[in-house]
Amino acid sequence: MKTEIKSGTILLAEPFMMDSNFKRTAVLLVDHGEGGSVGFILNREVEMRVDELVEDFPEFEGNLYFGGPVSTDTIHYLHAKGDLLEGSDEISPGIFWGGDYKQLKFLISQGIIKPQDIRFFVGYSGWSDNQLEEELATGSWVTAPMFANYLFKSKPADLWQQVMDNKGNAFSIIAEMEDGPSYN
């Protein structure tokens, strides 16, 4: 059975994936097409705030996340304020990607966009044309639907396990598996 890949899908790394960039990650796919795919790792928090990294950014208590190993000199953002931020693309109900950067800084400086409304990512996860389809076919990823609460309400450290568990059946068992080898 072929898995449908589309923007707004979560990719969960299979539990034994050894690639350190993606081990036990939950990646939100924000773009998928003939040219490839783009996503952001939702559960890799960086011990730094966005206003500490980005020059000329208003003071902001929002943390940064490692979006992926591609273009780690770039900043991206997912937010819940698509009605206020021009140029935003709706990825999933209640989740928007990007938008006018100057307007974003103004809305943050005015307290209109708060830390619970937005997540900033350093870099992104990317796949060339058909690469993601091949990885899905070999079982590297499990797909799941995205919900805004995963992004804005869930604890990042628990997200992989939470989404896997929410899939039910065998995935609930997988979600409970220890990270790393077990010695009996």
Q: Which two tokens stand for residue 120?
A: 């900033």
Query: For the chain, which residues make up each domain, given as ranges?
Result: 9-49+61-77+119-175
pLDDT of residue 173: 62
Residue among 16, 20, 34, 32 nearest 129 (CA): 34
CATH superfamily of 9-49+61-77+119-175: VC0467-like (3.40.1740.10)
What six digits make up the tokens of 132?
Answer: 């993601």
- Bridge partners of 76? 121
pLDDT tens, 110-145? Answer: 999 999 999 999 999 999 999 999 999 999 999 999
How far apart are the C-alpha atoms of 11 and 3, rounded to whole Å? 11
Tokens of 122: 């350093």
- H/E/C letters for each residue in the chain? CCCCCCCCEEEEECCCCCCCCCCCCEEEEEEEECCEEEEEECCCEEEEEHHHHCCCCCCCCCEEEECCCEEEEEEEEEECCCCCCCCCEEEECCEEECCCHHHHHHHHHCCCCCHHHEEEEEEEEEECCCHHHHHHHCCCEEEEECCHHHHHCCCHHHHHHHHHHHCCHHHHHHHCCCCCCCCC
Task: Give the tens place of pLDDT for each residue, 37-71.
Answer: 999 999 999 999 999 999 999 999 988 999 999 99
Whether 182 shows a pLDDT value over 80: the answer reads no
pLDDT per residue as tens digits for the range 141-172 = 999 999 999 999 999 999 999 999 998 776 66
- Per-residue confidence band for 184, with pLDDT thresholds at 50, 70 and 90: very low
